[in-house]
Chains A and B, each alone.
Chain A
Amino acid sequence: MIPVQLVFVLLILYLAIDVPAGLARSPPESLSAIDQGFFQLVANIFSGNWGTTSYSLGETGGAKPLLSWAQVFAYYIPPSIQLALFALPIAAALAYPVSLLAGWSRRPGLDAPSRFVTLTAALLPTFVVGTLVLNALFNPYLNYFQDIPAQGLLPADFWFFNRGGYPSWILYGFVTQPTGFPLIDAVVHEAWTIAAISFTKTLIQASVVAVAYVAIFFRHARSIARSVREEVYIVGARARGVSEHTLLWRHAARAVTPSFLLVFALTIPEYLGVQFAVEVAFTDQSGFGYLIFASLMAGDLSPIIPLVFLIAILVLTWALVVDLIAVRLDPRGVASR
């Protein structure tokens, strides 16, 4: 099913991007190109032929070959994965107990404020939160690392210039080698200052991402915890004198896990949106968010189709994985499906 869904996603993108672009050009030949273009696009995308950028590495206008989008993505993906690996555990550690407690509690004193706070947090545009946090933390951070440039928490090009140029393992300021993950590379090369900067930056960004995402997650997850409260075996266990603490953290917590995983699978696109905005707000020119915003703003939609294709693969695969996990965790769900 996933390949069919991916083809459908490509069709939507083809209708949204390629067809208008074809129509905007001179009609006769572009219309015939539109007729066959879709199958060509599907073949290209599935075979990994994602087109080339309009620029090359090194001097512009030189004889160097243009970069392919696959190469560019390979630079941008690892820092985003690093951020997600920090943000998701923080989000889970926040979202799980908060959603469970708020849905479980019959006291209005806990439920109402938590709904109020999370709705407010969900309504705040993430880039504003990111900008506020960045500016609030900037002065202490500046004092700690002394000479971090004013663009943000990631050392910009001239920071390295001031220190005698790029480190040998930093390519073009934001691409690291050999693994591509800034933190791992810094540790591999024993560049402890860079590692500290990368770690702190990622941790701060991850906290902002987590808080913004928990607000989205909570709205869906609260009602699940609430419905578990009414389940027969919970009521039965309570009648037998099982303590509320055990009921909540052993029985209810186990029961909501599959549903929480499903909510997570459903909200991955929203999570990605949050993470992209935070990456951009922190003027972090090393992640997927930067790539998307920069190419949209430049009016260059050519990387959007492969980018969305990658995101769709991630989301659809994860939804499938979660379905499988959920069935294992709670086989009762199979009967009702």
Chain B
Amino acid sequence: MNEAPAQGTAETVAVPLRPSLRERWARRPPSLGFLVGAGLLTTYIVVAISALFVFRNSLGQLPQTTAWVPPFNPIGPSWAHPFGVMPGFGTDLFRAIWQATPWDLGIVAGIVGIDVFLGFFLGAIAGLNEGGVFDAVITFVCDSLGAIPTFLLAIVVFAGLVTVAPSAVGLPLFVGVFGVILWPTMARTVRERARTIAHAPYVDAARASGASFPRILVRHVMPNSLGPVLAQVPLDVAPIFFVLSAFPWYYNCQLPGGPPTPPNSPPLHYLVPNLPFFSPLPSSSFPEWGYLLGFGTCDGFTSVGVFASWWMYFFPLLAIVGLGLALGLLCDGIERWRHFDR
């Protein structure tokens, strides 16, 4: 007896096919990790934007205070200098990291953006076109480029460009080169996922109903191959900062005999930051986390006491790891949100 009115309401109330974002949010609240990651990343972006306004004219230059350079004792974290002072630069480390934030977010966003764009797109095409010409070419390039360690290829390509066009060398070129070099790893994992999706029943159904290759790619394969992309993005942050920090570190403190000094320069009794000849950074007083970390690892261990100058490498490291973790938590959160049943 109750069936008739119930049916009536079901017919009158039009249930939308796709629930709104708010409804979906309410049905599946995001995990704690997602919220923490999103909060951390927002903090980074806010810090970066604030740095753009605060250091408007001197964003690319670390100021040097002569009273803080090494004939004087190193200054550790205190209320005046929350992160301590980096002696070689003669700069408050808090200010240096703050100033570096917009640059580093730009570098990471640019490289990861190119990486994701190329890797996701080409990997999905290769997976859907399994056995075809696209697949053969993309797989061949991926497998061949994947045989070379990323950091080595990036540095070699960059060093080659330095010899041929020194004026073009800079952060934009570095971002472009690195992004183009990182994509094979991404494309390979995406291809593996896309390959299995290309044989899924719903893709067969779409194909049977006459959907074109681009439509299947964009509507079915790419949205369902997002998982490997989300797993790879935080990992791709690591080689970027490895290259940015390892080479300044090696150049400043591992080079036998120390870094070369300009002729007729007075002898210095402390470590001065230097850049290797193929560095993408424009000057040796440029704020950049990797550079600060590389130099800090060098300077922090040459000072008196093994771990006495811990802040010199700890805070740049914290900034880098924090950014990677924020991306990791965010990506994991999105992946869980998409597959709440797993």
Contacts and interface: CB of A to CB of B under 8 A. Distances in A.
B160 interface: yes
A273 B234 contact: no
B35 interface: no
Given A24-B164, A301-B159, A123 B325 contact: yes
Interface residues of A, number: 59
A226 B237 CA distance: 24
Given A123-B237, A135-B307, A13 B317 contact: no
Interface in A16-70: 16-17, 19-21, 23-24
A320 to B, nearest CB: 10
A148 interface: no
A135 B306 contact: yes
B297 A269 contact: no
B246 A311 contact: no
Most chain B beta-carbon neighbours within 10 Å: one of A270, A272, A294, A316: A270
Interface in B198-217: none
A13 B181 CA distance: 13
A255 B247 CA distance: 41
A257 interface: no
Contacts of B147: 5, 9, 269, 311-312, 315-316
B328 A20 contact: no
B150 A270 contact: yes
Interface of A: 4-5, 8-9, 12-13, 16-17, 19-21, 23-24, 112, 115-116, 119-120, 122-128, 131, 135-136, 138-139, 216, 219-220, 223, 226, 266, 269-270, 272-273, 276-277, 280, 283, 292-294, 296-297, 299, 301, 304, 308, 311-312, 315-316, 319, 336
A8 B293 contact: no
Contacts of A304: 152, 156
Contacts of B143: 5, 316, 319
A299 B277 contact: yes
B301 A127 contact: no
Contacts of A8: 140-141, 144
Given A16-B156, A131-B301, A270 B321 contact: no
A218 to B, nearest CB: 10
A131 B297 contact: yes
A216 B140 contact: no
Nearest to A265: B146
Contacts of B144: 5, 8-9, 12, 312
B149 to A, nearest CB: 4
Contacts of A19: 160, 164
Interface of B: 33, 140-141, 143-153, 155-157, 159-161, 163-164, 185, 188-189, 196, 227, 231, 234-235, 237-239, 241-242, 245-247, 249-251, 254-256, 276-278, 293, 297, 301, 306-307, 313, 317, 320-321, 324-325, 328, 332, 342
A310 to B, nearest CB: 11
A223 B238 contact: no
A216 to B, nearest CB: 7
Nearest first, the 6 A-B pairs at minimum CB distance are A20-B164, A123-B324, A312-B147, A20-B160, A315-B147, A269-B149
25 contacts: A5-B144, A9-B147, A12-B144, A12-B153, A16-B157, A19-B164, A115-B328, A116-B325, A119-B235, A119-B328, A120-B321, A128-B245, A128-B293, A128-B297, A138-B306, A216-B235, A269-B149, A269-B150, A277-B246, A297-B276, A301-B156, A304-B152, A312-B144, A315-B146, A316-B143
Q: Is the interface of A mostly helix, strand, loop or mixed?
A: helix
Q: Is the interface of B mostly helix, strand, loop or mixed?
A: helix
Nearest to B332: A115
A272 B320 CA distance: 22
Contact of A128 (B140, B277, B313, B332): B313
Name the residue among A19, A112, A127, A219 with the largest chain B CB count within 10 angstroms: A127
A270 B231 contact: no
A273 B156 contact: no
B306 A119 contact: no
Contacts of B185: 266
Contact of A135 (B189, B250, B301, B342): B301
